[in-house]
Amino acid sequence: MVSDTTLDDLPLRDDLRGHAPYGAPQLEVSVRLNTNENSHDVPPEVVEAVVAAIAEQVPHLNRYPDREADALRDALAAFLRAQPASHGVPLTRGNVWAANGSNEVLQQLLQAFGGPGRTAVGFTPSYSMHPIITQTSGTAWVDGKRGDGFSLDPFAVAEQVRAAGGGTGADVVFLTSPNNPTGTALPLDVVEAAYEATRGIVIVDEAYAEFARPLGAGGTPSAITLLPGRPRLVVTRTMSKAFAFAGTRVGYLAADPAVVDALRLVRLPYHLSSLTQAAATAALAHADALLATVEDTKAQRDRLVAAMPTLGLFALPSDANFVLVGGFDDAPAAWKALLAHGVLVRDVGIPGHLRITAGTAAETDAVLAALAEVVVEEE
Ligand code: PMP
């Protein structure tokens, strides 16, 4: 059915008029380093376990899934408890909630704790879905400012959190660690300062936590360590990045059980399909195998960072699976030129910068070779 109707002809909400849909281009290119996915396929032993778990569910698809996703939440809590960066915080099922990607977890948080008359603050540049999820929930967005080198310090953050909402304080605070697109981890004193500065919810988006440098080597502990005694603090995670499971759409959070109760008020019943729950639970039983590529990815990230000065470019130190590269004369033109060389990266809208996901060794070879040519073309 063809139609001449445009968005302008529809009775769309006024606050959505003029907005563009979010989404990086999904192009068929040989080297795709634009959405911070894990470039490695799911390992065969995990494929086998997931297929078996799904096969068990299929005859019972006549029934709705477990609305509470108990088995999956048990598995996620056990995974978090075992992480050294969580410092043994005794998380259980009641502290964990899961949804279709951490985007849905964030959306549910805004549905429960944002809304008309409320304000959320985040610190730009950061994950560009934070303002979109905020605004589509009818919540006002405040674009917080960072210091030199995209840094955040506790005093500046606390001040901006207090000033939000015309001085009434932010109802929701977004912090991202490691931050997307800069790759930098956030010192925990910034999280503590934000928490003290508001009576609202403080969300620490840790989508890339598994790529952080180890605690003994300059790494920062997870904000999970701050959860005890802080019922308004929420840490979000995902299986889309380190777990190489983006296609399954599983994100989760760790928080006080009361936060989980709040999300039950807004989540759609049966929001996580039986197949999603089975696949993710089976995958988590093989977490070590799934996460085996994390060290390889970190090595490629470090290779990218180290190579940039040899190309006349510079990179910020990264605790994530991507690198923000600066020093381009014209980043959109460089993005196009890289695409012409078969390499898709991300123009995140920061003048002179492009974000490059760390993938396989062959992908690093390809992007470095393409960059060498593009930098020369730029001159
Ligand atoms: N948070 C951050 C910081 C991200 O970069 C992303 C994905 N790019 C997400 C959350 C959402 O990931 P997902 O919905 O796949 O869990």
* Pair 259, 325 in one domain: no
For residues 128 and 162, membership in a common domain is answered with yes
pLDDT score for 232: 98
Q: Which domain holds residue 127?
A: 45-289
**Cα–Cα distance for residue pair 194/160, rounded to 1 Å:** 9
Atom of ligand 1 nearest to the CA of 180: 3
Considering the domain boundaries, does residue 318 fall inside one? yes
- Report yes or no on 3 lying in a domain: no
Q: Which atom of ligand 1 lies closest to the CA of 102? A: 16
Span from the CA of 60 to the centroid of ligand 1 (angstroms): 31
Number of domains into which the chain is organized:
2
The pLDDT score that the predictor gives to residue 213 is 87
CA of 374 to the centre of ligand 1 (A): 29
Atom number of ligand 1 nearest to Cα 239: 16
**276 within ligand 1 shell (Cβ under 6 A):** no
Q: For tokens 């923000």, what's the residue? A: 324
**Atom of ligand 1 at shortest distance to CA of 179?**
3
- Helix 294-307 with 361-378: angle, nearest 10 deg: 20
Query: What CATH number is associated with residue 335?
Result: 3.90.1150.10
- Shared domain check, 89 and 207: yes
Closest by CA to 97, choosing from 225, 264, 275, is 264
Q: Is 174 inside any structural domain?
A: yes
Domain end among 289, 304, 328: 289
Q: Are residues 137 and 184 in the same domain?
A: yes
Q: Tell whether 320 and 208 lie within a shared domain.
A: no
Q: Considering 289, 316, 344, which residue would you say is the last residue of a domain?
A: 289
Does 218 reside within a domain?
A: yes
For residue 104, which atom of ligand 1 is closest to its CA?
14
pLDDT the model gives residue 268:
97
258 and 358 part of one domain: no
Q: Verify that 358 and 264 share a domain, yes or no.
A: no
Domain assignment present for 13: no
127 lines ligand 1 (CB under 6 A): yes
Pocket test for ligand 1, best of 108, 128, 180 (most atoms within 8 A of CB): 180
* Pairwise CA distance, residues 115 & 23, whole Å: 24
Low-confidence ranges of the chain (pLDDT < 50): none
0.80 exceeded by the pTM?
Answer: yes
Give the pLDDT score at 85. Answer: 73
Q: Give a yes or no: residue 24 inside a domain.
A: no
Ligand 1 lined by 176 (C-beta under 6 Å): yes
Is the distance from the beta carbon of residue 125 to the nearest atom of ligand 1 less than 6 Å?
Answer: no
pLDDT at residue 96, rounded to an integer:
98
pLDDT tens-digit profile of 62-101?
Answer: 999 999 999 999 999 999 999 877 778 999 999 999 999 9
Ligand 1 mean position to 59 CA, how many Å?
A: 32
Domain of 255, CATH number, reads 3.40.640.10
- Do 55 and 124 belong together in one domain? yes
- Quick one: 127 and 239 in the same domain? yes
Residues 224 and 90 in one domain: yes
Please work out whether the CB of residue 34 comes within 6 Å of at least one atom of ligand 1: no
Q: Are residues 207 and 88 in the same domain?
A: yes
Residue 4 in domain? no
Q: Which of 247, 262, 289 is the last residue of a domain?
A: 289
Residue 222 shares a structural domain with residue 353:
no
Q: What is the Cα gyration radius of the chain? A: 21
